[in-house]
Structures are given as C-alpha cells and as structure tokens.
Structure 1
Amino acid sequence: MSDRGRTLVVTNDFPPRQGGIQTFVAALLERRPPDSLVVLASRSPGWEAYDARLPYRVVRQRTAVLLPTPATARAATALAAEHGCDTAFFGAAAPLGLLAPTLRDAGVRHLVGATHGHETGWVALPGARRLMRRIASGLDVLTYISEYTRSRLEPALGGCTRLAQLSPGVDVDRFTPAVDGTAVRRRHGLGESPVVVCVSRLVPRKGQDVLVAAWPQVLARHPGARLLLVGGGPDEARLHRAVADRRLGDSVVLTGPVTPDRLPEHYAAGDVFAMPCRTRRGGLDVEGLGMVYLEAAAVGLPVVAGTSGGAPEAVRDGETGTVVPDPRSPDAVAAAVTALLDDPARARAMGTAGRAWVERRWSWTTIAAQFAGLLEPRDD
C-alpha cells in the first residue's frame, strides 16, 4: 500500500443491489488497487456472499438505505481513522456528501462526489438546489457524466467546487462483436429477419412507444423486419396494448426483464439499435448520457438515438449512428431506422466505427485512469 493512504468509499449504491449507479461504482472500484480501498455501504439481499468474493474490505451498516446520519458519520470517521484514509469518494454525492465536512475534520484531505444525471432535475428545484450547493461546497471535486449534465449543474453549483467529467464506461470484453445472439433469436422466433433492438427500461422517456408507432412504416418497406424490446418497467402493459391495437404481434417482441449477464447476447441479436429517447416533464425527466448506445456500438451495431439530454454525446451522428432531431415523431424515427435497414453495408460500417470509438473513448480502462486522476489532490 502506498504511503499516500487509502480511499474511503461511502455509498448507498453498491452491489448486489442492481442498478446503473451500483454497476458504475463497482466497476470503478474493480480497477483500483484492492489494498487502496475500504467501502462503507448499506445492505441488500445477498450482500454476505457478494462481499466474500471482493478483494477489498466492505463494511455494511445494518440498514437497507445509508443516510448521512450521526451513526453513519461515526462509522465513516472510524473507518477512515482505522485504515489511514486520506481520500473519500461518495458513489452518489447526494445526500451522503453531507458527511464531507465531518470527514475533513477527521483528517480526510481530499473528497470527491459523483453525480449521475438525475441531479440535473434537482438543481431546477429551489430546495434541492440548496441541498446540492451545500453538498458541493464540502467537496473538492464533483463529477458529472456528460457535457449536458455539466451545463445544467454548473449554473447552480459553479463556484462551490471543481466540476470534472467522470462518465460510466463500457466493458469492451463483454460487449463485443464476437457475442453470439443466435440463442436469443431462436428463443423469440426471429429467425434470419432483420432485427431492430431496443435495450432499456420500459418508461415513456425511452421512446419504445414511438418505436411501436413507427413500426408499421418500417414494415411497409421491410415486411420481414422484427422489433425486439428488451427490458421491463411500468410502461410494459401500455406497450403490449399498443402492439395489439396495431396488430403487430407477429413482428414486435417484448422480452420482459433480462439479467445484466444476458444483455450482450440481446444486443447481438439485433442488426440496428434504436432508442428514440425524449425529454419529459419540463426537463425533469431527461437522459443523462445513454450508456445503451455505447454498449450497442461496442457490440458493433449502428444506433438510432433521440435528443434527450446527453444522449447525442453517446453517438457520432452520421458516423456511428443517427440522432433523430424529433424523437417524438414516428415518421422521423421510421425514416432513421429504414435508412439503416435499406443500406446494410453502411449500417455495418457505422457499427465498426462505433466499436472503435468505444474502445478508444469509453472503455473502462480509459474511465479508470480518469478516476485515478480525480482521486489525486491538486496542488492549486
């Protein structure tokens, strides 16, 4: 262990609980030297078995939700002292970043907190904005996942702390063009048909409803095409009704929830990836970045994206895919999808370009190096 000390990670978002933030935090820590870390986290079913496999120490509070309470503060400061932690990282800055001043008083010199996208809605609300400013003021660095989220956070939090980008990464060894989607195609009766796949939670913002509305136009040009909607969520029943109302049951498949380990093969079952996400609720319901576009690109698929929030940053428009200017328009979405189905060679070239871009810019190797730099105190 370096004489620089260890990093104390304080997080409510940690496996085996599933979710994007949990995956993000675990992936960052996986790429740090094990003896440089100690984690304070909440409990979720299966935590004992999960922690037993980790190469670094994890201490679980006896709670399902870790909050910035006096008990959590005592546990965090005790761990920092026991392990000589001179750096702390909050897996989600709000609300646990409220502990930062206490940890600084206890001798932790450098404090970093992460944001993940939903905070862009919080800073639009007076009460939540005051909380975020208080949290940011106690940190040395507050991270953002995309230029879009920075543009929303900076007006509210600029001057409180240093803002730095730390995006999620893609496991380019799991999401790869070599993944075989044959079993998924067989399971859902897709055969050799051209398949447009959407992998995402089923909520209105993601745009599966617009894909279904656009699908008759796609079928008019490509009668054998199939639409594969992968994931579960509150919009599932509404989407089933929309498919039935349009008599699309022979060409649209909803898989229901899929475990994370099976996601690569579901991407690989497609020829084109499409998720025409849109911003809702006056900007409070927005896409922070859109990792599914990057995972699809890593598998070698061209992507069709919407304009919500940071989604366009996950696509090189015209090179790795297409950003639909009006993702609420079935006509516009159908045109983008059919253009790729019309020209398989161009679609394959976009997939190849997307894979190369993800390897260069979005791999966890690149992101881990950025994270390591953020954990180092700056002299200025």
Structure 2
Amino acid sequence: MTVLVVTNDFPPRQGGIETFVRSLCGELPAGDLIVLTASMPGDTQYDAALPFRVIRDRSGMLLPTPRVTRYAVNVVRRFGVDRVVFGAAAPLGLMGSALRRAGVRRIVAMTHGHETWWAGVPGARQALRRIGDAADTVTTVSSWCATRIAPVLSDQAVSRMRRLTPGVDTTRFFPGCGGDEVRKGLGIGDRPVVVCVSRLVARKGQDTLIRAWPRVLAAVPDAVLLLVGGGPDRDRLESLAAGHESIRFTGAVPWEEIPPYVDAADVFAMPCRTRRFGFEPEALGIVALEAAATGKPVVIGDSGGAGDTVRHGETGYLVDPYNPPATAVRVIELLTDPGKARAMGAAGREWVAAEWTWARSGAVLRELLDL
C-alpha cells in the first residue's frame, strides 16, 4: 500500500494549509508515503530531513495540465501507488479520473476555504462537481464549508463527504510555553495584553481591533495590543494605529517561534471577517484553537467556519467583526475579569485536548484511505 499526497501546499512554504498537509503526512506510515509537490526556495534542504519521499515537479505551482497529469500518472505507476490524497481538492483533484485509470484504488480530496469560492462561480462549480465524482471522499474543515460545497456536488459525492479538521500540537501550545520571555523582551512586563497572531491582511480584522482600542484603553489604561505577523496590510494598519504607544507590531515571526507569542496574551483576539461579497471567508481559523490550547480565552470574528473554533460564552466569544465597539466590550470584559478569563482559557484547553488533536485527524484520514 503506497499513499501519494499531491499538493501545492507544503513546506518550506508557510501557511495554514501547508501546516495542515504536513502534519497529516506525519500521521501516515512514512515508509509507504510519497509527496508530489511544487518546487520552492529551500526545498532541497527541507526534504532531506523528512522521513518520507518527496518528489518536486520543476514548476513552482502544480496545475492539472496534461504534462503534470502525465507526470503524476508516471509516479503512480513507478511506485505502485494505490491511494491518493489531494491536499487541496481544487484544482488538482481534476486529475482524479486519470489517476484512477492508472490504478489508484482510493482518492481523498481535501477542501479548505477556497473551494467555497469555486462552489459559487459558474464553470468552477462544474469542475468541483467533477472532482467530487472522481474522489471516494471529499473532506471539509468546518460545518460552514460543508454547507457551501455540498449543493454543487452530486448526491453520491455528498453522501461520501466527511469532516477532516486540522489538529493542534498541544506539546507546542500549552500554558507557560514562553510568554514571560516574550513579555520581558518587549518590555511589556505585567501589563494586560491582547494578542492577535495572523498575517496582516484585511480579512483577519486587525483594523477592527485598532478601532476598538481607544474604548479598551478607556477601561484598561495600561493595556497593550500586540499584533504578531507580517503582510501587505501593515502600512495601512500602522497608519491607523499612529499615536498609540500601546499598539505594538512585531513583524513576521517564524512558525516555530509562534507559541510563546500566543502564551504572552491575557486575551487572544482575531475579529476575522468575510470579504468580497462572500467569496473571501475564514474557512476555520486554527490559530484560535492554538490559543485555546495555550489556555487563553478567545475573541473571534463571525466569519465562515470560524464559529467552529470557539464555544461562545464557554471558551471565548464570537463577535461581529464589523463592529469595533462590540469587539471592545468583549475584550474589556475579559481583561477586567481575570477569573472569567482563566476559566474560559482552561475550558478551551480541555476542549482542544479532547477533540482537536492531530492523532484524531490522522485516524480519520487513515480510515478514509482504508489503511
């Protein structure tokens, strides 16, 4: 039994889907696993340290072109592959029928947020239906994604859909995983801290936090807002935050150094939102679960599948991401009631440890592949 994972989303490139795919690879038998992915800077050194085989196409992005399809078929035949996972169903899942003819017995097509966009666009909608028909299972990361994708699939494909969520590494994200050192390094000390860890893009809602911040300061004058990450929206956000010493930008932080920044928070907040007429939602938002695993109460924007990452009123709050005053109310509530914040953080960690583990996700994938 040989499993082939076909994906564009793989390290050393960083991102949520890349982490998802790489972590799931770690839950599959390394000796029977091959990853077919694109070329990218630093890949040779990265691949050399992996316990499984990685094959890099010469292109910087895999597309289901005739050439790439032939290449994938050759890999299937050369290594006797009988199981395939598409790390992101669209568009690579369009190769499913060709790989099936080459001898593949089971196909799992994973969907994330961008497939919901495909589900709403003529032409792309029909392509997504073809992907579903070629796969044994189409997986979704959240209940919201499932409701958006299911209407464009055939009845047979819908009946085979399964939920496959990312997990949280609770050995990396846990209370006390380095937050004190981050606070010391930034000169924050014991001040109340709100942390947002995310790329600086409009969808993540850092500007909502900045607009809410004067209200927060009126109630908690020594509070600090720590925006962790880099991205194209940084200049606009820094202009919006001008004059506020209490709003700090860290810039980009390597993935392996993220947990201490989350641990530095008293409250984790990311008022993510849906943009571009519904075509740019938050599919899930694993960072909220990582914050919960670190024992932090979370304040999360009501966008797409983000609601799956918080138990409203128990592990944190779901807020209107277009309403800075309402966001400020929840942040203030948690900063001024440390007992409630600690209780929500403890409930969040318990929930994540029980239901959001990579071992659980890996077990689902192995079942779907009939391993």
TM-score range relative to shorter protein: over 0.9
CA contact (8 A) 1:24 1:168 kept: yes
Matches within 5 A, 1:208-223: 208-223=206-221
Displacement over 4 Å in runs of 4+: none
Secondary structure at the residue paired with 1:72? helix
Picking from 326, 340, 353, the partner of 1:346 is 340
**Cα deviation 1:116-141 (Å, max 9, x = unaligned):** 11211221111211221122221111
Give the aligned partner of residue 199 of structure 2: 201
Q: Does 1:118 align with 2:114?
A: yes
Residues in 2 aligned to 1:371 and 1:72: alpha-carbon distance in whole angstroms = 25
Contact 1:188 1:253 in 2 (8 A): no
Aligned to 1:190: 188
Aligned to 2:99: 103
Residues in 2 aligned to 1:159 and 1:104: alpha-carbon distance in whole angstroms: 20
Determine which of 247, 262, 268 is the counterpart of 2:263.
Answer: 268
Per-residue displacement from partner, 1:188-213 (whole Å, max 9, x unpaired)?
Answer: 22111000001111122211111111
Which residue of 2 is the match for residue 234 of structure 1?
Answer: 232
Say which of 313, 327, 330 aligns to 2:324. 330
Q: Secondary structure at the match of 2:84?
A: strand
Deviation at 1:158, TM superposition (A): 4.1
Please tell me whether residue 314 in structure 1 is matched to residue 309 in structure 2: yes
- Say which SS state the counterpart of residue 3 (structure 2) adopts: strand
* 1:20 counterpart residue number: 16
Partner residue in 2 for 1:60: 56
- The equivalent of 2:285 in structure 1 is 290
The alpha-carbon deviation at position 360 of structure 1 amounts to: 0.6
Contact 2:132 2:154 in 1 (8 A): no
Q: 1:375 to 1:346 in 2, by over 3 A?
A: same
In structure 2, the partner of 1:178 is 176
Q: Aligned to 1:277, which of 256, 272, 278?
A: 272
For residues 243-276 of structure 1, the C-alpha deviation after alignment (integer angstroms, 9 at most, x for no partner) is 11xx21x111011111101110110111100111
Where does the alignment leave 5 or more consecutive residues of structure 1 unmatched?
Answer: none
Q: What is the CA distance between 1:52 and its match in structure 2?
A: 1.1
Question: For residues 94 and 118 of structure 2, what CA distance do their matches in structure 1 show?
Answer: 16
Cα-to-partner distance string for 1:261-317 (whole Å, 9 max, x where unaligned):
111011011110011112122211111011111010011100011110111110011
Following superposition, the deviation at residue 71 of structure 1 comes to 2.6
In the alignment, the residues of structure 2 paired with residue 10 and residue 119 of structure 1 have an alpha-carbon distance, to the nearest angstrom, of 16
Which of 88, 91, 108 aligns to 1:92? It is 88
Q: Distance in 1 between matches of 2:137 and 2:357?
A: 22
Deviation, structure 1 residue 182: 2.2
Q: Secondary structure at the match of 1:143?
A: strand
Corresponding residue pairs, total: 369
TM-score, L = length of structure 2: 0.97
Q: In 2, distance between residues paired with 1:141 and 1:278?
A: 29
In 1: Cα distance, 2:55 partner to 2:114 partner:
27
Maintained 8 Å contact 1:307/1:327: yes
Kept in 2: contact 1:17–1:44 (CA 8 A): yes
Structure-1-length-normalised TM-score? 0.94
Distance 1:56 1:203 in 2: 34
Distance 2:200 2:35 in 1: 32
Give the whole-Å Cα distance in 2 for the aligned partners of 1:13 and 1:275: 23
Q: How far apart, CA to CA, are the structure 2 residues paired with 1:122 and 1:104?
A: 23
Q: Which amino acid is 1:359 matched to?
A: A
The CA deviation at 1:83 is: 2.4
Matches of 1:285 and 1:61, distance apart in 2:
29
Give the drift of 1:115. 0.8
Amino acid at match of 1:197: V
